[in-house]
Amino acid sequence: MSRGTGVRATRNPVVVVAGEDGNDRRSLRILLEALCPQMRGRVVEISDSVRLRLATEANLADRVAVLARKARARAVRERADLACVFVHEDLDSVDGDGVAEIQARVCRALVTELGTAHYVLSISEMEAWLLLFPNSLETFVSSWNVPAKRQGKDTGSFGDPKKILTHEVSMGARRYRESDAPEIFEKIVNLGHIKTPSGSNRSWDLFCGDVECCCADHVRLAGKRTS
């Protein structure tokens, strides 16, 4: 009875993004599509509480399994192959000893379950990445000003980047709010600043390296598998 139109011959790859809240997921999607044009229109989100950083070994495997199930189901809904998964979490403390270990442990669990995956652990939270782009912040709201002492620094050493944004960068009536983050990342991309951060943050460098590797290998591989 089939008329031959129900099954698609090729299935485009999708990259799934998981993160603690909608602002983080949207921010990550904007960054992925900017840093890897092949991902444009191919990044989809899932909601998951993503509590991997502090999970015990047994909990970690269980939580990763749940996340993987949701990611696979999302790809099925898109009638697409699952090329890769980016999972975001905030470290909630400054950079230091033990961070690389957490990163490696969670990453290993994700890759074991999914084959291709990346664990994006922002140090200390995603707002620290915004502080790498003072010019974009000042263009986003003209009254905002990034103090000189916050520029050109390791933003992973700032204990409370959100507070810096709400109490040092933004003043008066138009204070920074969490829902600004995706729009500021969009501004950074549109202004062409994305590849030229001011200062440093180890988690930003790791993330950019992961996207480069994903773009070159995972997304391309998934595309090849289906053609």
30, 67, 214, 222: which one binds Zn ion (CB under 5 A): 214
Contact flag: residue 18 with Zn ion (CB under 5 A): no
Residue 84 to residue 16: CA distance in whole angstroms: 6
Residue 86 or 144 with smaller CB distance to Zn ion = 86
Number of chain residues interacting with Zn ion (CB under 5 A): 4
Whether residue 225 contacts residue 127, with contact meaning beta carbons closer than 8 Å, is answered with no
CB of 214: closest distance to Zn ion in angstroms?
3
State which residue, 39 or 146, has the beta carbon closest to Zn ion: 39
Q: Minimum distance between the CB of residue 128 and Zn ion, rounded to whole angstroms?
A: 23
Tell me the sheet residues that pair with 86: 17, 118
Please, which residue, 42 or 162, has the CB nearer to Zn ion? 42
User: In angstroms, rounded to a whole number, what is the distance separating the alpha carbons of residues 9 and 74?
Assistant: 19
Distances (CA, A) of 194 to 8, 97, 99, 101: 36, 28, 25, 28
Judged by CB under 5 A, which of 75, 84, 188, 222 binds Zn ion? 84
- Given the rule CB under 5 A, which of 24-32, 84-92, 142-150, 194-202 is the region that contacts Zn ion? 84-92
The answer to whether residue 116 forms part of the interface with Zn ion (CB under 5 A) is: yes
Alpha helical stretches, state H, the chain: 22-35, 57-77, 99-114, 127-130, 134-140, 161-164, 180-190, 202-213, 219-226
Q: What is the DSSP secondary structure assignment for residue 200, as one 8-state letter?
A: B
Residues that bind Zn ion (CB under 5 A): 84, 116, 214, 218
